[in-house]
């Protein structure tokens, strides 16, 4: 669950809201009636403004803002000793961030979303081309495992024959999944060939005594091992690689990929250590047993296990009964042990259970759940799943709406005591935002299946908050340290 550092949440399904005009009122000093000449002048100005292109209108508005900023900068008594050096995180973003943000005036919402994607891509292209990730604030780059994937892919020279250790989960969802998706979008067999190549190179990770894969694999040497510090893997990682490997088998007609990942699900299906379908967070790759028993969460290290149960069932034509059984049983466990209600608004949220003790802690990662519940209901599962989806979706939205920046923190604690004045409490260490996508993806599902426009509205609000507080003028979007302190 690593955030993409150079893209912004862009899944918004909103109808245009035209705000690309200026209203001019021309009146005599001291009042009086309009004359025909004045009416003509007003209409003439209006027509001239409307004849300008959106780009021209945006340029005019930016010019006006620049004049205002220059005027303010000329008065130290107003600006004090503040500096123009951009400081991110707990400090305010520089004023010039608002200039590019104002260019959304006159755009439709769809155009604004497209512009945000282009802005993210611009930063990557200018400062990190050919590298694994953009560092937008420092205008530099970082390496994930240094394969130079994008640069070589463009030249059609991508090779995975390199002596480097990679993480099985990350390589599956990013590289294998990306190649399979590109193949489906383009129909170009080159991408399927490359997907098969990386798939074969990842297979040594499954050569374990328990069939629970190792986390790390050397794609050049064909060797694999657990992390240096433990023989455990997280349950989320080993159960969230199935969709890609199953699809690779379907496309290549080679069953070995699907067999390997299906063995994991069959093993966990019959494994002891669950509580009403809820699974612990860790599993040992040597003996195949759950570890750190008694701790249950839908947050980090367990979240996507539940999501992928449903999606595998759908992917397989709804024929794999064990997957559906595990999903439905887990939802009953969630409702029995983890779903509670906050005060004063009565928000339904999903907490955690540790050795029988409930905690009202909810990760932002848990906001995958409304979308998953809605997807299941859409595919014929009980209608009550959709009702729970709507209720938890409201709570995820409030995690944004109740923050001063309009952005959710990484973790919240819900208040359950009567007399509370605020539903959501945030601890100092949890106030950061990492540009996570779970909430906006769930909003996408909820709108698609219900057509309730409030989900469009919520998505647009969140999108605007990201643009206001995380957008870097030179390209890209950055995490912020404190969602409780507006920039």
Q: List the catalytic residues.
A: 170, 303, 410, 438
User: Which residues neighbour 232 within 8 Å (Cβ) at sequence distance 6 or greater?
Assistant: 226, 282, 283, 284, 285, 291
User: Which residues neighbour 318 within 8 Å (Cβ) at sequence distance 6 or greater?
Assistant: 324, 379, 380
Between CA 229 and CA 320 the distance in angstroms is 36
Burial class (CB in 10 A: 0-12, 13-18, 19+), 143: exposed
User: Which residues neighbour 194 within 8 Å (Cβ) at sequence distance 6 or greater?
Assistant: 158, 160, 179
The CA dihedral of 236, 241, 243, 244, to the nearest 10 degrees, is 160
Cα 261 to chain center, whole Å? 25
Q: How many CB atoms lie within 10 A of CB 364?
A: 24
How do beta strands 223-225 and 216-218 pair? antiparallel
| Max Cα–Cα distance, the chain, nearest Å | 91
Strands (DSSP E) along 121-176, which ranges? 133-135, 140-142, 165-167
Between CA 195 and CA 175 the distance in angstroms is 8
In the numeric block, which tokens belong to residue 433?
Answer: 């935002």
The per-residue DSSP string of 277-312 comes to TB--SEEETTT--EESTTEE-SSTTTHHHHHHHHHH
Distance (Å) of CA 325 to CA 17, 328, 330:
45, 5, 8
In the numeric block, which tokens belong to residue 326?
Answer: 């595990």
User: Which residues neighbour 440 within 8 Å (Cβ) at sequence distance 6 or greater?
Assistant: 9, 11, 12, 459, 462, 463
Secondary structure of 22-54 in HEC code, one letter for each residue? CCCCCCCCCCCCCCHHHHHHHHHHHHHHHHCCH
């Amino acid at each position: 669950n690593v955030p993409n550092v150079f893209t912004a949440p862009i899944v918004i399904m909103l109808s245009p809201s035209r705000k690309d005009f200026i209203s001019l009122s021309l009146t005599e000093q001291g009042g009086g009636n309009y004359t025909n000449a004045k009416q003509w002048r007003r209409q003439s100005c209006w027509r001239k403004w409307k004849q300008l292109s959106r780009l021209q209108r945006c340029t005019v508005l930016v010019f006006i803002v620049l004049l205002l900023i220059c005027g303010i900068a000329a008065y130290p008594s107003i600006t004090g000793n503040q500096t123009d050096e951009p400081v991110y995180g707990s400090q305010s973003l520089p004023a010039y961030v608002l200039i590019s943000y104002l260019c959304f005036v006159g755009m439709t919402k769809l155009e604004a979303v497209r512009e945000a994607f282009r802005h993210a891509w611009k930063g990557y292209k200018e400062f990190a081309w050919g590298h694994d990730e953009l560092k937008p604030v420092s205008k530099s780059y970082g390496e994930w495992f240094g394969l130079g994937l994008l640069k070589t892919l463009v030249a059609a020279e991508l090779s995975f024959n390199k002596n480097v250790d990679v993480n099985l989960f990350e390589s599956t969802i990013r590289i294998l999944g990306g190649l399979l998706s590109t193949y489906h979008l383009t129909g170009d067999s080159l991408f399927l060939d490359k997907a098969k190549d990386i798939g074969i190179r990842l297979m040594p990770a499954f050569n374990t005594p328990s069939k629970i894969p190792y986390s790390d694999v050397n794609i050049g040497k064909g060797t694999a091992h657990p992390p240096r510090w433990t023989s455990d893997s997280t349950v989320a990682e080993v159960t969230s690689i199935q969709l890609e490997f199953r699809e690779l088998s379907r496309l290549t007609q080679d069953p070995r990929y699907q067999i390997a990942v299906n063995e994991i699900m069959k093993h966990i299906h019959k494994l002891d250590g669950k509580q009403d379908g809820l699974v612990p967070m860790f599993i040992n790759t040597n003996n195949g047993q759950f570890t750190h028993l008694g701790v249950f969460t839908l947050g980090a290290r367990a979240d996507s296990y539940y999501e992928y149960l449903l999606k595998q069932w759908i992917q397989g034509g709804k024929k794999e009964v064990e997957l559906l059984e595990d999903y439905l049983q887990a939802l009953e466990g969630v409702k029995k042990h983890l779903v509670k209600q906050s005060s004063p608004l009565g928000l339904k949220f999903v907490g955690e259970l540790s050795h029988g003790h409930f905690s009202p802690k909810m990760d932002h990662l848990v906001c995958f759940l409304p979308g998953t519940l809605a997807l299941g209901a859409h595919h014929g599962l009980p209608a009550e799943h959709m009702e729970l989806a709507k209720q938890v979706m409201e709570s995820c939205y409030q995690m944004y709406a109740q923050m001063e920046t309009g952005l959710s923190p990484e973790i919240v604690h819900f208040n359950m005591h009567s007399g509370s004045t605020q539903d959501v409490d945030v601890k100092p260490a949890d106030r950061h935002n990492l540009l996570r996508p779970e909430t906006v993806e769930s909003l996408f599902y909820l709108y698609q299946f219900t057509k309730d426009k409030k989900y469009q509205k919520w998505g647009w609000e969140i999108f605007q908050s990201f643009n206001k507080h995380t957008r870097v003028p030179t390209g890209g979007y950055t995490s912020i340290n404190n969602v409780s302190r507006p920039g």
